[in-house]
């Protein structure tokens, strides 16, 4: 089969690889009909996330048709079912899964010892990601083996298109979880840093959850225009001060809720000297992350407010103002997305026409064009916001 | 090659590469990679054996300068091999200028190694052309301006409109609590 394979920093290739097979009774094989390039794939593309190996298949946002099921799937899935595959693999049986903490599944990470050493305790297995999270082959491929398939799937009802359902596997529940973690009240201003695909979903989620106003921060005109279309007030940090503008919009009090949809690769610009220092430290391996957004959020957030972090962080961040964080009494909520905790509700909202996540797709191309699209997406060329690939 | 070696630690059932296809790396990226490694190698040599350079160029007494150039060269190499390769390549172009100026200082009639200096100058000029080409093509390849520029004012994502979307939370008795686990 064809698959997008990681060969090293900035080197993704469309290779021919062997087909996956059922290995465990709870496995299923899915013929991928649509998959997407996620912002966090770019962290792997840049080799900022450790423990990738040449030959790893990329992709953790995918859906398709079940073509084979193991004997232990016990009727939960059958051939021909259309499913979205969540990026977090969950067993549904461990203590964390029973609590709904699916991204912390205690059984699905097959590199548990490695994960224990790095994180203290093992995290769930993820598709198409580092070997710290199991190193499972990803879904930017023609076929995908889904472990714990009886639990790790979202069935797609008739009448819901691939484009509407695909993002239930990652960015939509990720944006939704970030907004839910904000405990939004009708008087709240929610500020969202980063108007990439996850940021766009955060904005729509905050609107649906009843925020008084949503403020979106980015520098790219196309992304800001999409944020504005979704109901946000926009701030272009290239041309205006984020802190001054946010204080203006909140009568000097700061936003009650702040969402970091940027993660550890904050944009580096001479206007923000800390970003240059962070980049220099990153190159010299003195720091793995560039946490400019975190610093700014902690500074500007209203005392007693909530900071929600759906953006990915890789390892170590310097100069986090813990004094401000502690003295302002801020609450920090973060984590990989517990995808299936939210997807029943989100699927209902799609079916009811409350939201159509396909608005974010700007590029729809064949899997063969994947390697090229990685650079288009990374370089923000051709007004690219979200790439969907068709195997 | 590395992908085949990494199969040693890969799980047995995982798909393995049968045939490699086209890469996201473009020609300017590959050239940048070569220049980055060259920079690191040259910088390391200047750092650990500056006397060899000064002796060959008849510029004894300038070992500290050569070491400093070695550090500069290694810095440029690290940058060129990073995702900020454009910055690295342009810093190499600047470094080439410094090298040329320094070598011109050694092109004196009384320098017994004048021929070596001239040869080095030609080599540096050759590399400078390559660096300039790589910096320009890499910058152009990864420029954001490539492709069409569009705005997305018509993409609200709310089929019934933003006002209807805002009303949804108002009509709900409360924000939906996290759904209980299925199991």
Measured between beta carbons, which residues in chain A are less than 8 angstroms from residue B138? none
Q: Are A274 and A318 in contact (CB under 8 A)?
A: no
Q: What is the pLDDT of residues B69-124, one digit of tens each?
A: 999 999 999 999 999 999 999 999 999 999 999 999 999 989 999 999 999 999 99
b (16+ CB within 10 A) / e for A267-286: bbeeebebbebbbebbbeee
Q: What pLDDT does B179 receive? A: 53
Measured between beta carbons, which residues in chain B are less than 8 angstroms from residue A179? none
Task: State how far the Cα of A62 lies from the Cα of A83, in Å rounded to an integer.
Answer: 9
Residue in chain A closest to B88 (alpha carbons) equals A283
Task: State whether A221 and B178 contact (CB < 8 Å).
Answer: no
Q: What is the residue-level pLDDT of chain A in tens, covering all 391 positions?
A: 999 999 999 999 999 999 999 999 999 999 999 999 999 999 999 999 999 999 999 999 999 999 999 999 988 999 999 999 999 999 999 999 999 999 999 999 999 999 999 999 999 999 999 999 999 999 999 999 999 999 999 999 999 999 999 999 999 999 999 999 999 999 999 999 999 999 999 999 999 999 999 999 999 999 999 999 999 999 999 999 999 999 999 999 999 999 999 999 999 999 999 999 999 999 999 999 999 999 999 999 999 999 999 999 999 999 999 999 999 999 999 999 999 999 999 999 999 999 999 999 999 999 999 999 999 999 999 999 999 999 9
Measured between beta carbons, which residues in chain A are less than 8 angstroms from residue B168? 208, 210, 354
SS3 (DSSP) at B34: helix
Tell me the C-alpha to C-alpha distance, in Å, between residue A49 and each of A74, B41, B164. Answer: 36, 26, 41
Task: State whether B16 and A93 contact (CB < 8 Å).
Answer: no
SS3 (DSSP) at A127: strand
Given A1, A20, A54, which is nearest B3 (Cβ)? A54
Given B150, B179, B181, which is nearest A222 (Cβ)? B150
Measured between beta carbons, which residues in chain A are less than 8 angstroms from residue B174? none
Q: What is the largest CA-CA distance in chain B?
A: 92
Question: Which of residues 53 through 92 in chain B touch A, CB cutoff 8 A?
Answer: 78-79, 82-84
SS3 (DSSP) at A63: strand
Measured between beta carbons, which residues in chain B are less than 8 angstroms from residue A109? none
Given B23, B145, B175, which is nearest A210 (Cβ)? B175
> For residue A341, what are the contacts with CB-CB under 8 A and spacing of at least 6?
A100, A101, A102, A173, A177, B178, B179, B181
Distance from B132 to chain A by nearest Cα, in Å? 21
Measured between beta carbons, which residues in chain B are less than 8 angstroms from residue A228? 153
Residue in chain B closest to A345 (alpha carbons) equals B179
Measured between beta carbons, which residues in chain A are less than 8 angstroms from residue B148? 382-383
Q: What pLDDT does B183 receive? A: 42
Question: Which of residues 17 through 46 in chain B touch A, CB cutoff 8 A?
Answer: 17-26, 29
Q: What pLDDT does B144 receive? A: 87
Question: Which of residues 141 through 160 in chain B touch A, CB cutoff 8 A?
Answer: 142-160
Domain A172-334 sits in CATH 3.30.470.30: no
Instruction: Calculate mean pLDDT across residues B154-168.
Output: 96
Task: State how far the Cα of A358 lies from the Cα of A142, in Å rounded to an integer.
Answer: 21
Distance from A251 to chain B by nearest Cα, in Å? 22
Distance from B155 to chain A by nearest Cα, in Å? 6
Task: State how far the Cα of A200 lies from the Cα of A195, in Å rounded to an integer.
Answer: 5
Distance from A153 to chain B by nearest Cα, in Å? 13
B109 touching chain A per CB within 8 A: no
- Domain locations along chain A: 2-170+337-390, 172-334
State both tokens at A326.
Answer: 């502690």
Residue in chain B closest to A214 (alpha carbons) equals B166
Task: State whether A55 and B13 contact (CB < 8 Å).
Answer: no
Element (H, E) at A66: strand A62-69
ipTM of this predicted structure:
0.93
Distance from A324 to chain B by nearest Cα, in Å? 29
- What's the mean per-residue pLDDT of chain B? 91
Q: Which of A161-165, A314-318, B64-68, B176-180 has the lowest mean pLDDT?
A: B176-180
Looking at beta carbons, which pairs linking B121-130 to residues 24 or more positions away fall under 8 Å? B124/B96, B124/B99, B124/B100, B125/B96, B125/B100, B127/B96, B128/B93, B128/B96, B128/B97, B128/B100, B130/B31, B130/B35
Task: State whether B169 and A353 contact (CB < 8 Å).
Answer: no
pTM of the model: 0.94
Measured between beta carbons, which residues in chain B are less than 8 angstroms from residue A55? 2-4, 6-7, 10, 16-17
Q: Where are the beta strands (DSSP E) in A241-368?
A: 257-260, 306-309, 331-334, 363-366
b (16+ CB within 10 A) / e for A162-189: bbbbbbbbbbbbbbbbbbbbbebeeebb
Q: Please, what is the end-to-end C-alpha distance for chain B in angstroms?
A: 45
Task: State how far the Cα of A215 lies from the Cα of A224, in Å rounded to an integer.
Answer: 10
CA dihedral A283, A284, A285, A286 (to 10 degrees): -120
**CATH level 3 topology of A2-170+337-390:** Quinone Oxidoreductase; Chain A, domain 1 (3.90.180)
What region, left, alpha or beta, does residue A290 occupy, with left being phi > 0 and alpha being psi -120 to 50 degrees?
beta
Task: State whether B152 and A225 contact (CB < 8 Å).
Answer: yes
């Amino acid at each position: 089969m064809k698959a997008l394979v990681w060969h090293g920093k900035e080197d993704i290739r469309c290779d021919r690889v062997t087909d996956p097979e059922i290995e465990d009774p709870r496995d299923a094989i899915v013929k991928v009909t649509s998959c997407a390039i996620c912002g966090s794939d770019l962290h792997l593309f840049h080799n900022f996330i450790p423990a990738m190996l040449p030959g790893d298949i990329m992709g953790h946002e995918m859906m398709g048709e079940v073509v084979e099921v193991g004997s232990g799937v016990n009727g939960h899935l059958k051939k021909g079912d259309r499913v979205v595959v969540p990026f977090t693999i969950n067993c549904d049986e461990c203590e964390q899964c029973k609590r709904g903490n699916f991204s912390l599944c205690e059984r699905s990470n097959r590199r548990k010892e490695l994960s224990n050493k790095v994180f203290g305790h093992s995290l769930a297995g993820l598709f198409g990601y580092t070997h710290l999270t199991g190193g499972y082959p990803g879904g930017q491929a023609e076929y995908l083996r889904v472990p714990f398939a009886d639990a790790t799937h979202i069935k797609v009802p008739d009448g819901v298109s691939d484009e509407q359902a695909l993002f239930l596997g990652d960015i939509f529940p990720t944006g939704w979880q970030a907004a839910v973690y904000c405990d939004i009240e009708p008087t709240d201003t929610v500020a969202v840093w980063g108007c990439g695909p996850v940021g766009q979903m955060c904005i729509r989620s905050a609107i649906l959850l009843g925020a008084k106003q949503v403020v979106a921060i980015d520098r790219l005109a196309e992304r800001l225009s999409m944020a504005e279309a979704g109901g946000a007030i926009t701030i272009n940090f290239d041309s205006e001060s984020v802190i001054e503008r946010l204080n203006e919009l909140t009568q000097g009090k700061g936003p009650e809720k702040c969402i970091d949809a940027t993660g550890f690769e904050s944009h580096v610009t001479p206007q923000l000297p800390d970003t240059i220092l962070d980049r220099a430290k990153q190159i010299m391996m003195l720091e793995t992350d560039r946490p400019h957004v975190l610093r700014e959020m902690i500074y500007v957030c209203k005392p007693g407010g909530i900071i929600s972090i759906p953006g990915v962080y890789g390892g170590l961040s310097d100069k986090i103002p813990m004094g401000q964080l502690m003295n302002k009494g801020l609450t920090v909520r973060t984590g990989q997305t517990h995808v299936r905790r939210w997807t029943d509700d989100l699927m209902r909202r799609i079916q009811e026409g409350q939201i159509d996540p396909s608005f974010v797709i700007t590029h729809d191309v064949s899997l063969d064009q994947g390697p090229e699209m990685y650079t288009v997406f990374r370089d923000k060329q051709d007004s690219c916001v979200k790439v969907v690939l068709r195997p | 090659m590395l992908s085949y070696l990494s199969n040693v630690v890969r799980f047995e059932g995982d798909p393995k590469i049968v045939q490699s296809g086209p890469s996201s790396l473009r020609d300017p990226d590959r050239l940048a990679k070569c220049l980055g490694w060259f920079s690191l190698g040259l910088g390391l040599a200047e750092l650990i054996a500056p006397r060899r350079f000064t002796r060959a160029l008849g510029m004894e007494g300038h070992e500290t300068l050569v070491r400093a150039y070695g550090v500069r060269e290694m810095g440029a190499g690290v940058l060129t091999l990073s995702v900020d390769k454009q910055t690295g390549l342009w810093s190499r172009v600047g470094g080439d200028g410094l090298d040329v100026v320094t070598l011109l200082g050694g092109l004196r009639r009384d320098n017994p190694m004048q021929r070596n200096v001239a040869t080095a100058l030609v080599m540096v000029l050759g590399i400078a052309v390559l660096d300039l080409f790589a910096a320009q093509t890499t910058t152009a390849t990864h420029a954001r301006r490539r492709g069409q520029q569009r705005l997305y004012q018509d993409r609200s994502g709310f089929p019934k409109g933003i006002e209807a979307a805002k009303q949804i939370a108002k009509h709900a008795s409360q924000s939906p609590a996290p759904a209980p686990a299925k199991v």
